[in-house]
Amino acid sequence: MSISLCATCGVEHASRPPVCAICADERQWVPADGQRWTTLEELAAAGASVTVAELEPSLWALEVAGVSIGIGQQSKLLVTPAGALLWDPLPFVDDAAAARVRELAGDAGVVAVAASHPHMFGAQLEWSRLLGGVPVLVSRADLDWVARPGAALEAWEGERELLPGVTLTQPGGHFPGSAVVHWAGGAGGRGVLLSGDTIFANPDRVSVSFMRSYPNRIPLSGRVAERVAAHVARFSFERLYNNFDGVVPRDARDVVVRSARRHREWADGDHDHLT
């Protein structure tokens, strides 16, 4: 059965409403020429494929190539001896992509598919189906954004150890249920944070941003930025990856804390004399 994908955000839908609710929200956008839909079959016929590249040992980046679909996010596959996590699933999957992920995951297989927030739901249930029906974890606070129900969906909240040394935790911010993944074994044992765009690595690679909407430039308050930073600062992490190709390669925990303080200072007017 064909599923519908919003061409703008890439999220799978069980039906085609007049407008995708995720795109109609102030955090996203509907194209000037109106709502557009596509299917996995149409994308495959147009030449879509999934590329896989190693970011560091046991961490892989997945991207859609050959077509334009969704917001162009980068999925992460985190592989451990006890199993693998597919994080921020792409809006396209086919048998070849699923087979490659299963190969990289090894004998323990993929234990879960999870998204940092609704913009990253992608084709989450299709990924689950092609990976053997693994659970699709959705933050309970963001369940209302799910546009395609399915038996694999599993609500969660708070904090959850998915695998030894791999913790899914919920600082909120961008969405009430916005989540990140802490991987204690990453960066040679110094820790990695997979932050989605709950915490967004900036192009300078030495700072991060905290936003309600990235495309529409709506900031979070300074208080929320510092709350999010304090939540993740409970963990040790040397490196941070966002949901595109952004990375803070070193001292990432300190970078997050400093960036949140800078955000709060500017939001509070401490540096108005510079404007």
Q: What is the DSSP letter of 227?
A: H
- The burial of 189, by beta-carbon neighbours within 10 Å (0-12 exposed, 13-18 middle, 19 or more buried), is given as exposed
Q: If you average pLDDT over every residue of the chain, what do you get?
A: 97
- DSSP class per residue in 46-76: TT-EEEEEEEETTEEEEEEESS--TT---EE
Please tell me the predicted confidence (pLDDT) of residue 1.
60
Helices and strands (H and E) in the chain: how many: 7, 20
The domains located in the chain, with CATH, are 4-14+48-274 (3.60.15.10)
pLDDT > 70: what percent of the chain? 100
Q: Tell me the mean pLDDT in the region 238-251.
A: 98
Span 76-134, pLDDT tens digits: 999 999 999 999 999 999 999 999 999 999 999 999 999 999 999 999 999 999 999 99
Please tell me the predicted confidence (pLDDT) of residue 2.
80
Span 75-86, pLDDT tens digits: 999 999 999 999
Q: Say how far apart CA 179 and CA 177 lie, in whole Å.
A: 6
Q: Tell me the mean pLDDT in the region 240-264.
A: 98
Q: Tell me the mean pLDDT in the region 213-232.
A: 97
pLDDT of 208 > 80? The answer is yes
Please tell me the predicted confidence (pLDDT) of residue 71.
95
Please tell me the predicted confidence (pLDDT) of residue 202.
98
Span 257-274, pLDDT tens digits: 999 999 999 999 999 999
Q: Tell me the mean pLDDT in the region 215-232.
A: 97
Per-residue buried b or exposed e for 40-63, using 16+ beta carbons within 10 Å of the residue's own CB? beebbeeebebeeeebeebbbbbb
pLDDT > 90: what percent of the chain? 99
Q: What is the DSSP letter of 14?
A: S
pLDDT of 4 > 70? The answer is yes
> Cα–Cα–Cα angle for 117, 41, 113, nearest 5°?
30
Inter-CA distances, 154 with 93, 161, 179, Å: 21, 15, 15
Both tokens of 241, joined, read: 């990856």
Please, how many CA atoms are within 13 Å of residue 215, restricted to the half-sphere of its CB?
A: 14
Span 21-58, pLDDT tens digits: 999 999 999 999 999 999 999 999 999 999 999 999 99
Q: What is the pTM of this model?
A: 0.97
Name the strands in the sheet holding 180-183, side by side, starting at the edge strand that comes first in the sequence. Answer: 159-163, 166-169, 180-183, 192-196, 239-242, 247-248
Nearest to 256 by CA among 215, 212, 200: 200
pLDDT of 158 > 80? The answer is yes
